[in-house]
Amino acid sequence: MHRTAHPELYQERDETADVAAVEQSLRDPKVGIFVAQRKTATVSFVHGMVRVVEARTPPGHTLAPRTFGLVDELFVSTSVRRERVATLLLDAAELWARSRGLPALEVTVWAFNLGAMSLYREQGFDMLRHYMRKTLDE
């Protein structure tokens, strides 16, 4: 969905690079990865995942430096949307952030993703800022 909306920003997926990135994240103590899965007697289906990162902003002249949990990635399979999978994943991310003493969770939501905006509002997220972009002709 994101690549379709903004192909200039999102690259094709490279499964080898994806596996390496997940393996690196699993070793990083400042990253929490939580998976939603459904198991049967013979198979396990992954239906969603959230990756939350302990983030720190650099000191600046105007904004105070701060630390927070950044919901860096969240996805839910289309087959289980509206079944509270995203809510459960966000609950896990929040629990992880609280266990680390982080004062807040933040997330970036693309303007076209109205479903995600609704989800985050329902989960208690407030609009913090608008991030805008102007494409310049070459």
Whole-number pLDDT of residue 37: 87
- Residue 70's pLDDT is 96
- pTM score of the predicted model: 0.79
CATH value of 30-122 in 3.40.50.300, 3.40.630.30, 3.40.50.980, 3.40.630.10: 3.40.630.30
> At what angle are helices 114-122 and 85-99 packed, to 10 degrees?
60
Cα–Cα distances in Å, from 124 out to 30, 35, 87, 130?
23, 21, 11, 18
Q: Which two tokens stand for residue 127?
A: 């609009």
pLDDT in tens, the chain (138 residues): 666 766 666 567 666 666 667 777 777 889 999 998 888 788 888 889 999 999 999 888 888 889 999 999 998 888 878 878 999 999 999 999 999 999 999 999 988 889 999 999 999 999 988 888 898 986
- In whole angstroms, give the CA distance from residue 34 to residue 136: 39
Cβ proximity of 32 and 51 under 8 Å: yes
